[in-house]
Amino acid sequence: MKKIEAYIRHEAFEPIRAELLDKGFPSLSIIEAKGSGRQKGIVERYRGSTLTVNVRPKIKLEVVVEDKDKDVVVEAILRHARTGEVGDGKIFVLPVEEAIRIRTGEDGQSVLQLHEESEIPT
């Protein structure tokens, strides 16, 4: 199993989510993140004083998939998150040791299986 952690622009999230759902990966999490990279901070002006904000808001997207599905997810992120400008973000792929579904307590690869049609809310 692999965990894909991607730091992306806010506006890239919705197309990525739509494509992943379409390809059968509805399970994902996002976290509002702030970070710095090559993209510069912004200078806020407030009643005559300035404040340089060195970290910029990004979305951290987390998806855990079986090893064989990793490339599908990575490609979807690359396709939608790339604008070519500094600040598009980065993708990290990490190994995952265990996965357990809390509702049922089942573990292993089955946790990452596609949902049955009837389980997916319309």
Partner 1 sequence: MKRRLMIAAPVAAIASLVLPGIALGAQTPILETPEASINAMWVIVAACLVMFMQAGFLLLEVGFSRAKNAGAGVAKVLVNFSIASLCYWAVGFALAFGGLGEIAGTHGFFLNVGSSIEEAGSSIPFVETYSISPAAFMFFQFVFCAVSLEIVWGATLERIKFGAYVIYAIIFSAVLYPILSHWIFGGGWLQVNVGMQDFAGSTVVHLIGATGAFAALLLLGPRIGKYTKDGKPRAIPGHSMPLVGLGVLILWLGWFGFNPGSTLGAIGGRFAEVVVVTNLAAAAGVVAAVAIMWMKTKTIDIGMAGNGAIAGLVAITAPSGYVEYWAAPIIGAIAGVVVVYGVLAIEKLIDDPVGALSAHGLAGIWGTLSCGIFTSPRLADLNEVGDPGLWYSGSFHQLGAQALGVAVAFACVFVASYAIFFAIKKTIGLRVTAEEEDAGLDISEHGMYGYPEQFIPQPEYSTGAVYGNKPKAAPASSPATVTPMTSES
106, 108, 113, 115: residue in contact with partner 1 (rule CB under 8 A):
106
11, 14, 22, 44: residue in contact with partner 1 (rule CB under 8 A):
44
Give the torsion sign (CA, 86, 25, 111, 68): negative
67-73: which pairs have CB atoms within 8 A and are 24 or more residues apart? 67/1, 67/2, 69/25, 70/2, 70/4, 72/23, 72/25, 73/4, 73/20, 73/25
Using the contact rule CB under 8 A, the part of the chain among 30-38, 48-56, 80-88, 90-98 near partner 1 is 48-56
85, 105, 116, 117: residue in contact with partner 1 (rule CB under 8 A):
105
Question: Rounded to whole angstroms, how far apart are CA atoms 108 and 91?
Answer: 24
Using the contact rule CB under 8 A, the part of the chain among 34-42, 56-64, 69-77, 101-109 near partner 1 is 101-109
48, 68, 86, 116: residue in contact with partner 1 (rule CB under 8 A):
48
Residues that bind partner 1 in the complex, under the rule CB under 8 A? 44-51, 103-106, 119, 121-122
